[in-house]
Amino acid sequence: MARIYLSPPHLSGRELDLLRDAVESNWIAPLGPHVEAFERELAGVVGVPHALALSSGTAALHLALIVLGIGPGDEVACASLTFSASANPIHYTGAAPVFVDVDAATWTMDPELLDRALADRPQIRAVVAVDLYGQCCDYDAITAICDRRGIALLQDAAESLGASYRGAPAGGQAAIAAFSFNGNKVITTSGGGMLVSRNADWIAHARKLSTQAREPAPHYEHTEIGFNYRLSNLLAAVGRAQLEVLADRVAARRRVNERYRELLADAPGISFMPEASYGRGNCWLTCILVDPETAGTDRESIRLALEAEDIEARPLWKPMHLQPVFREAPMVGGDVSASLFERGLCLPSGSALTSGDQERIAEILLATRGT
Ligand SMILES: Cc1ncc(COP(=O)(O)O)c(C=O)c1O
């Protein structure tokens, strides 16, 4: 039986057509029409006028911080429960992260704790709000807090493409937002990212920085430090084919989530990541919490039992404030994300996962009780 992965790529069938077009037109470099079209189409889906296709979501976050003016001596508040790529770019700029715990009701940044962090630390000049596992943060609350103090808000929407917040597509809630098309995301370019904003100047500046900060001159002229962060025309072709099926992929992931809820409904001690009333998640990954007191099992026993059957499951993100690399960083709160990490498990959630596979996964999971 083939291994079941946590979140493998799911091709639409149109990728080869668009790739063939790129190859046959000799536009495999530099940039090219698929890059421009991918930017336009993604901006349309997100409902934000300006977009910049980049080599990764990490690159998008890095450039976002630079165009917001973040640099040495600054601090940036960031949710603790996330992937390290939300926080690493803060260090790339020479600034330092301040981690903020999440709210147990949404698993995203706790607005009250953010308010406390900003009150205590005037060095904080920007906030990285992370949409976790496809669920948006509470942007009304977070935006009000940031606006009151004139702090820039950056949305890490790497995991939330296709989700919505109060009826609007994820990615338009903050001044600037970053998406990822990494291989495990809802749609993928094999690797890639996108920066989106309503601010044309920021996107123009990021565009220049992403191509080695070349000045408009016939020779290579530079007045600032640049990066090589653009997306290739080949990968943009793949991205366009993937974007065509985004709505289907989100619907499939939501069905996977619903099916797990049905299959595990009667299991004591097993609960699911809550869906906040303000939005609709894309269910990128279905996450459960296992309470060892009442479940008769624990998250690691379940993970190992699945692994023994060649099924990939993974603990939730280990919070950044518990990571050795960030041990010096200040933390506001911390118990919620630490406890979620202790008990949380991401189940296989790919949009091509069959209901037969899901039944098998649930059976293996339930069989760990009392063993
Ligand atoms: C929350 C979050 N931020 C940032 C990233 C970085 O994106 P990329 O892998 O495209 O650099 C990812 C995923 O990989 C992510 O899950």
Here the CATH number for the domain that contains residue 24 is 3.40.640.10
The structure tokens listed for 46 are 């997100």
Q: Based on the domain organization, do 76 and 216 belong to the same domain? A: yes
Domain of residue 298 covers 246-367
To test the pocket of ligand 1, the residue of 132, 159, 231, 349 to mutate (highest count of ligand atoms within 8 Å of its CB) is 159
Whether 185 contacts 7, CB under 8 Å: yes
- Inform me whether the pLDDT recorded for 1 exceeds 90: no
Give the CATH number for residue 319.
3.90.1150.10
pLDDT-derived band at 53 (thresholds 50, 70, 90) equals very high
86 Cβ below 6 A of ligand 1? yes
Q: Based on the domain organization, do 335 and 286 belong to the same domain? A: yes
- C-alpha pair distances (Å), 250 with each of 161, 188, 217, 317: 9, 13, 44, 21
From the CA of 164, how far away is ligand 1's center (Å)? 19
Which residues does 296 contact at the CB level (< 8 Å), separation at least 6? 268, 269, 369, 370
193 Cβ below 6 A of ligand 1? yes
- Report pLDDT for 329: 98
From the CA of 57, how far away is ligand 1's center (Å)? 5
Residue (of 325, 85, 265, 41) closest to 185 by Cα position: 85
- Inform me whether the pLDDT recorded for 366 exceeds 70: yes
Whether 271 contacts 158, CB under 8 Å: no
Residues 290-311 have pLDDT tens digits of 999 999 999 999 999 999 999 9
Q: What pTM was estimated for this model as a whole? A: 0.98
Q: Based on the domain organization, do 82 and 130 belong to the same domain? A: yes
Is residue 170, in this structure, part of any structural domain at all?
A: yes
Is residue 6, in this structure, part of any structural domain at all?
A: no
To test the pocket of ligand 1, the residue of 179, 182, 337 to mutate (highest count of ligand atoms within 8 Å of its CB) is 182
Answer positive or negative: Cα dihedral of 247, 252, 257, 261: positive
**Which of 182, 215, 243 finishes a domain?**
243
- Which residues, listed in sequence order, are joined to residue 96 by a DSSP beta bridge? 75
Neighbour tally for 72: CB within 10 Å: 8
Q: Based on the domain organization, do 173 and 209 belong to the same domain? A: yes
Residues 83-128 have pLDDT tens digits of 999 999 999 999 999 999 999 999 999 999 999 999 999 999 999 9
Is residue 2, in this structure, part of any structural domain at all?
A: no
Mean predicted confidence (pLDDT) in 46-69: 98
**Which of 187, 211, 243 finishes a domain?**
243
Neighbour tally for 205: CB within 10 Å: 17
From the CA of 187, how far away is ligand 1's center (Å)? 13
- Report pLDDT for 312: 98
- Report pLDDT for 52: 98
- Report pLDDT for 371: 64
Q: Based on the domain organization, do 262 and 192 belong to the same domain? A: no
Which residues does 24 contact at the CB level (< 8 Å), separation at least 6? none
Neighbour tally for 101: CB within 10 Å: 25
Residue (of 98, 95, 169, 187) closest to 131 by Cα position: 169
- Inform me whether the pLDDT recorded for 187 exceeds 80: yes
- Inform me whether the pLDDT recorded for 176 exceeds 80: yes
> Residues for the chain: how many in total?
371
The structure tokens listed for 181 are 């098309």
- Inform me whether the pLDDT recorded for 326 exceeds 80: yes
Is residue 282, in this structure, part of any structural domain at all?
A: yes
CA distance 186 to 146: 29
Mean predicted confidence (pLDDT) in 276-303: 97
Q: Based on the domain organization, do 266 and 184 belong to the same domain? A: no
Q: Based on the domain organization, do 188 and 222 belong to the same domain? A: yes
Q: Based on the domain organization, do 178 and 192 belong to the same domain? A: yes
Q: Which helix (H) or strand (E) holds 39?
A: helix 33-46
Is residue 94, in this structure, part of any structural domain at all?
A: yes
Q: Which atom of ligand 1 is nearest to the CA of 132?
A: 1
Q: How confident is the prediction for the chain on average, in pLDDT?
A: 97
158 Cβ below 6 A of ligand 1? yes
- Inform me whether the pLDDT recorded for 213 exceeds 80: yes
Q: Which atom of ligand 1 is nearest to the CA of 130?
A: 1
Q: Based on the domain organization, do 348 and 235 belong to the same domain? A: no
Mean predicted confidence (pLDDT) in 25-50: 95
Is residue 212, in this structure, part of any structural domain at all?
A: yes
Question: In this structure, which residue's CA is closest to atom 7 in ligand 1?
Answer: 57
Q: Based on the domain organization, do 222 and 347 belong to the same domain? A: no
Is residue 8, in this structure, part of any structural domain at all?
A: no
Q: Based on the domain organization, do 182 and 74 belong to the same domain? A: yes
Whether 114 contacts 166, CB under 8 Å: no
- Report pLDDT for 51: 98
pLDDT-derived band at 30 (thresholds 50, 70, 90) equals confident
Number of separate domains in the chain: 2
**Which of 209, 243, 277 finishes a domain?**
243
Is residue 287, in this structure, part of any structural domain at all?
A: yes
From the CA of 38, how far away is ligand 1's center (Å)? 19
Q: Based on the domain organization, do 281 and 360 belong to the same domain? A: yes
CA distance 125 to 69: 9
142 Cβ below 6 A of ligand 1? no
- Residue 217, burial from CB neighbour count under 10 angstroms (0-12, 13-18, 19+): exposed
83 Cβ below 6 A of ligand 1? yes
Cis before residue 30, ω within 30 degrees of 0?
yes
To test the pocket of ligand 1, the residue of 55, 83, 90, 190 to mutate (highest count of ligand atoms within 8 Å of its CB) is 83
From the CA of 182, how far away is ligand 1's center (Å)? 7
177 Cβ below 6 A of ligand 1? no
